[in-house]
Amino acid sequence: MAEEPQVETPQITLVDLQNALRIIDVSAERGAFKGGELTSVGTIRDKLALFLEASLPKEEAKTEEATKASAS
């Protein structure tokens, strides 16, 4: 009997989550969301930001915030 090929389990990294947060921010700046969607988008954005803040080493979190502040 032929052996089933192993499928890698997809993984999400902190960098992936940082990129998702940036995508949300850029999309919001460009007006990509309708008014009725803003609460849902904002809730997810806040959850991502809090998770990243708690998960990233303190120096990296500070650098991330500084980068975000300078981009605004």
Query: Where do the structural domains in the chain lie, given as residue ranges?
Result: 43-72
Q: What is the mean pLDDT of the chain?
A: 87
The alpha-carbon radius of gyration of the chain (Å, integer) is 17
Q: Count H helices, E strands: the chain?
A: 3, 0
Q: What is the DSSP letter of 1?
A: -
CA torsion angle for 16, 22, 24, 29 (degrees, to 10)? -170
Determine the average pLDDT of the residues in 8-25: 95
Nearest to 50 by CA among 21, 13, 12: 21
Question: Please, which pLDDT band fits residue 25 given cuts at 50, 70 and 90?
Answer: very high
pLDDT for position 67: 64
Q: Residue 44: is its pLDDT beyond 70?
A: yes
